[in-house]
């Protein structure tokens, strides 16, 4: 299985404070799932690290995590998929964040499963498989 890690999952891995995330990450590695990150998610992670109170530490930690993942560049086909998603969501009046639609477009175009705690937005994308590695209770 190819799992595309959203930025919030990478932050949870770095902070190691959200129950379940590290355990599921380790299980995915053990099952030899392919773990990827969209270059745009990598950008979000690194930007957050650069503006943190301790950028030297946080950038080094982010780069260490990113070196364990396959960082995948964005393509024209990803852009087409993202444009279709954006159009569909706009028609329903249930849009999602600009970067999230780009990340979702790549995952959908390539048949990847998104790993994110941001189910509220990603589950709006028709056809996108999304899983949450946190042990947060499901709120209807």
| 53, 86, 126 from 81: Cα distances, Å | 36, 9, 11
pTM for the full model? Answer: 0.92
Dmax (CA) for the chain in angstroms is 43
pLDDT above 60 (res 121): yes
Condensed to tens digits (0 to 9), the pLDDT of residues 44-83 reads 999 999 999 999 999 999 999 999 999 999 999 999 999 9
What average pLDDT does range 26-30 have in this prediction? Answer: 95
Q: Which fold has domain 2-73+112-131?
A: Rossmann fold (3.40.50)
Task: For 12-94, list the strands marked E by DSSP.
Answer: 34-38, 70-72
Report residue 5's pLDDT band, with 50, 70 and 90 as the boundaries.
very high
Domain ranges of the chain: 2-73+112-131
* pLDDT, position 2: 97
* Percent of the residues in the chain that have a pLDDT greater than 90, as a whole number: 92
Q: What is the residue whose two structure tokens read 């995590």? A: 65
State the CB neighbour count (10 A cutoff) for residue 124: 19
């Amino acid at each position: 299985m190819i799992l595309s890690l959203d930025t919030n999952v990478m932050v949870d891995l770095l902070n190691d404070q959200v129950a379940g995330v590290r355990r599921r990450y380790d299980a995915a590695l053990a099952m030899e799932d392919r773990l990827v990150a969209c270059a745009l998610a990598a950008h979000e992670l690194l930007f957050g690290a650069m503006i943190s109170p301790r950028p030297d530490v946080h950038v080094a930690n982010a780069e260490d995590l990113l070196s364990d993942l396959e960082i995948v560049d964005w393509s024209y086909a990803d852009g087409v998929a993202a444009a279709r998603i954006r159009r569909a969501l706009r028609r329903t009046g249930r849009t999602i964040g600009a970067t999230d639609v780009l990340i979702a477009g790549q995952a959908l175009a390539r048949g990847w499963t998104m790993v994110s705690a941001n189910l509220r937005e990603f589950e709006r994308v028709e056809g996108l498989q999304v899983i949450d590695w946190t042990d947060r209770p499901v709120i209807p």
